[in-house]
Amino acid sequence: METINFEDFNKIDLRVGEILTAEKIPQTQNLLRLVVDFGKLGKKKVITGIFRWYKPEELVGKQAVFVFNLAPKEIRGELSEAMILTAEQADGSYVIIVPQKKSLSGAKVF
């Protein structure tokens, strides 16, 4: 495993966001389009491949941790402006990384 120095890690801006909307992207197997509120930092669209494990209605109103300063990337014709963090489980499924307690939208994660 390659290591990074502390200065490189500090470049990653992790933030808490609240999922406002979630919808499956038509003609894809696992892609969801999320609109995420980061409080005074604004809203961002996030494209994520977690439909196999999460249905849209399960996500609306939930908080999660996101890479906030990731360069925008086009995924299947949709622009994704951040990345939701997940953890792989022993069975190959993924769970979303969430704050232990309700947090301020846009709160920095250290």
At residue 84, the pLDDT reads: 98
Q: pLDDT category, 106, cuts 50, 70, 90?
A: very high
At residue 16, the pLDDT reads: 98
CA torsion sign, 21 to 34 to 60 to 83? negative
At residue 81, the pLDDT reads: 98
Q: pLDDT category, 93, cuts 50, 70, 90?
A: very high
Domains contained in the chain, CATH given: 17-101 (2.40.50.140)
Q: Model pTM greater than 0.85?
A: yes
H or E element that contains 99:
none
> Which tokens belong to 80?
């994704």
> Which tokens belong to 1?
């495993």
- 10-52 pLDDT, tens digit each: 999 999 999 999 999 999 999 999 999 999 999 999 999 999 9
Whether the Cβ atoms of residue 20 and residue 37 lie closer than 8 Å to each other: yes
- 56-69 pLDDT, tens digit each: 999 999 999 999 99
| Strand residues in 25-92 grouped as ranges (E) | 32-37, 43-48, 63-67, 73-75, 78-80, 83-84, 86-88
Whether the Cβ atoms of residue 49 and residue 89 lie closer than 8 Å to each other: no
Q: pLDDT category, 70, cuts 50, 70, 90?
A: very high
